[in-house]
């Protein structure tokens, strides 16, 4: 696959995250308006798909695919419609397109555009499928001998998160309060989290419903696309609350996603295998083909890179996670969001959380903003990701959030 050329000049650069090969799905709020509109990114522009559909430039069997404030309706229609919609967009935006003159009026500069949630999240599940991350965290909490839980190599461990807390990139994050108890404290106290952290993840968007157990292949087919995902985590709240039923308030402040959903189709050239299996998986979870993706990922703290890793470091693919998610008969719905789990690599600078980078605060990370064990008020954290094609990139846009100081005690009357 090489660069597909567009009459939108900026889309033909090897530097843009949004060439014609990408066409990621997003939503923007026009100036002076309140309701988001469906759009795709092309070069340094967004293309108002809602307006183009309303005017008849896009017409897929008369369906309303871009008319709502997000892409859930489009997803509902399934893979054939996803393909037809993408094919039509590709025709419209291709170099030499007969539609250029008509289509130009639907372009708006991305710079300064207000972007909104590209989907309504039905439910949010967060996995723990990065082996380096699980090993690092397990070593810190339980020692190197017991780093990986016994089930870890057999099932993609996951827990249900809170869909209401998922926000789009650019949303400020407020440092939470919580109940905290250090290992040497006699009793818990109520205070602002002091160990607030990022988790560098990818998110898979479920685009088709299921009702009963589905295979890994069916799961792959049901995934619409992928986003960058930062699962903001209060480590001190988590340490006190998470036994025996898992993380709860520690993960409920916010989870940020990139404004753009990159379709599975755009990522197709970058499919790759999961890492070698230490223990063979049970048949229903086995790999049936390359279902991870080679996507270099990074994190910046106040603009300076602190993490570099790759989506291909995960032990389980999103398809395996989704298949496991359905094993007990759990119904899945359009708009379900599956966080991959933190994606760390083997080296220190591949670690996808400050918990790991600072080894639980024992080895603060040196950054141009000063040493960091965890996030400080005012810090801006940004996730970046772009698959590298032959003369083009498939990017997600950044997934950014700035940590605001905690409010005064919300319970102080």
Distance CA(235)–CA(175), nearest Å, equals 12
Shorter beta-carbon distance to a second copy: residue 191 or 371: 191
Shorter beta-carbon distance to a second copy: residue 107 or 140: 140
Q: Which residue out of 133, 324, 325, 384 is catalytically annotated?
A: 133
Answer for which of 325, 351, 372, 384 binds a second copy (CB under 8 A) is: 325
Nearest to 125 by CA among 203, 197, 72, 73: 203
Nearest to 235 by CA among 195, 181, 192: 195
For residue 393, give every residue at least 6 positions away whose Cβ sits within 8 Å of its Cβ, in sequence order, or none: 14, 15, 16, 17, 19, 22, 386, 387
Q: Is 184 in the site for a second copy (CB under 8 A)?
A: no
The stretch near a second copy (CB under 8 A) out of 12-20, 48-56, 65-73, 243-251 is 243-251
Counting other chains too, the contacts that 137-145 makes at CB distance below 8 Å and 24 or more residues apart are: 137/355, 137/356, 140/355, 140/359, 140/360
Q: Is 73 in the site for a second copy (CB under 8 A)?
A: no
Answer for which of 252, 265, 271, 275 binds a second copy (CB under 8 A) is: 252
Q: Is 154 in the site for a second copy (CB under 8 A)?
A: yes
Smallest gap from residue 243 Cβ to a second copy (A)? 5
Cβ-contact 45, 8 below 8 angstroms: yes
In this structure, what are the phi and psi dihedrals at residue 265, rounded to the nearest 5 degrees? -60, -45
Q: 114: which strand partners? A: 29
Q: Please give the distance of CA 139 from its chain centroid, rounded to a whole number.
A: 26
Answer for which of 57, 155, 221, 272 binds a second copy (CB under 8 A) is: 155
Distance CA(159)–CA(161), nearest Å, equals 6
Site string for a second copy, 130-149 (x = CB under 8 A): -------------------x
Distance CA(210)–CA(56), nearest Å, equals 32
Q: Is 287 in the site for a second copy (CB under 8 A)?
A: no
Smallest gap from residue 254 Cβ to a second copy (A)? 7
Shorter beta-carbon distance to a second copy: residue 95 or 123: 123
Shorter beta-carbon distance to a second copy: residue 249 or 298: 249
Smallest gap from residue 209 Cβ to a second copy (A)? 9
Cβ-contact 225, 263 below 8 angstroms: yes
Q: Is 325 a catalytic residue?
A: no
For residue 240, give every residue at least 6 positions away whose Cβ sits within 8 Å of its Cβ, in sequence order, or none: 178, 179, 180, 181, 188
The stretch near a second copy (CB under 8 A) out of 21-29, 34-42, 61-69, 210-218 is 210-218
Q: Is 165 in the site for a second copy (CB under 8 A)?
A: yes
Answer for which of 122, 140, 221, 272 binds a second copy (CB under 8 A) is: 122
Q: Is 160 in the site for a second copy (CB under 8 A)?
A: yes
Q: How far is CA 397 from CA 2, 43, 124, 288, 355, in A?
A: 20, 11, 21, 30, 25
Site string for a second copy, 327-366 (x = CB under 8 A): xxxxxxx---------------------------------
Ramachandran category for residue 370: left, alpha or beta (phi over 0 → left; psi -120 to 50 → alpha)? left
Q: Is 189 in the site for a second copy (CB under 8 A)?
A: yes
Distance CA(57)–CA(324), nearest Å, equals 41
The stretch near a second copy (CB under 8 A) out of 35-43, 150-158, 367-375, 377-385 is 150-158
Answer for which of 190, 288, 349, 363 binds a second copy (CB under 8 A) is: 190
- Which positions are catalytic? 133
Q: Which residues contribute to the site for a second copy (CB under 8 A)?
A: 122-123, 128, 149, 151, 154-155, 157-165, 174, 176-179, 181, 187-190, 193, 212-213, 215, 234, 237, 240-250, 252-254, 279, 282-284, 324-325, 327-333, 407, 410-411
């Amino acid at each position: 696959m090489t660069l597909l050329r567009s009459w939108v000049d900026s889309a033909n650069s090897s530097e843009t995250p949004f060439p014609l090969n990408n066409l990621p799905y997003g939503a923007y709020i026009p100036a002076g308006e309140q309701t988001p509109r469906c759009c795709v990114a092309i070069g340094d522009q967004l293309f108002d798909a809602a307006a183009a559909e309303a005017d008849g430039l896009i017409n897929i069997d008369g369906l309303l695919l871009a008319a709502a404030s997000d892409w859930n309706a489009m997803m509902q229609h399934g893979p054939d419609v996803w393909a037809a919609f993408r094919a039509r967009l590709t025709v419209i935006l291709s170099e030499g397109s007969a539609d250029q003159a008509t289509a130009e009026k639907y372009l708006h500069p991305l710079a300064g555009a207000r972007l909104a949630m590209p989907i309504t999240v039905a439910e949010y599940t967060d996995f723990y499928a990065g082996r380096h991350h699980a090993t690092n965290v397990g070593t810190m909490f339980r020692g190197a001998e017991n780093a990986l839980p016994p089930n870890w190599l057999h099932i993609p461990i996951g827990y249900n998160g809170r869909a209401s807390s998922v926000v789009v990139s650019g949303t400020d994050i407020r440092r939470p309060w919580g109940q905290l108890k250090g290992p040497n404290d006699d009793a818990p106290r109520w205070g602002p989290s002091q160990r607030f952290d990022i988790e560098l993840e990818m998110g898979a968007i479920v685009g088709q419903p299921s009702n009963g157990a589905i295979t890994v292949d069916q799961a792959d087919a049901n995934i619409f696309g992928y986003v960058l995902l930062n699962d903001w985590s209060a480590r001190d709240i988590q340490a006190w609350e998470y036994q025996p039923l898992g993380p709860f308030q520690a993960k409920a402040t916010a989870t940020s996603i990139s404004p753009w959903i990159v379709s599975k189709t755009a990522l197709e050239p970058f499919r790759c295998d999961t890492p070698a299996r230490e223990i063979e998986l049970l048949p229903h979870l086995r790999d049936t083909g390359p279902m991870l993706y080679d996507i270099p990922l990074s994190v910046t703290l106040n603009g300076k890179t602190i993490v570099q890793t790759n989506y291909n470091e995960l032990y389980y693919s999103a398809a395996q996670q989704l298949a496991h998610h359905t094993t007990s008969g759990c119904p899945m719905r359009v708009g379900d969001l599956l966080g991959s789990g933190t994606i760390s690599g083997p080296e220190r600078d591949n670690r996808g959380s400050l918990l790991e980078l600072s080894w639980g605060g024992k080895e603060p990370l040196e950054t141009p903003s000063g040493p960091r064990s965890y996030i400080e008020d005012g810090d801006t954290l940004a996730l970046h990701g772009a698959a590298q094609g032959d003369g083009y990139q498939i990017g997600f846009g950044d997934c950014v959030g700035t940590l605001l100081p905690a409010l005064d005690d919300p319970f102080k009357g």
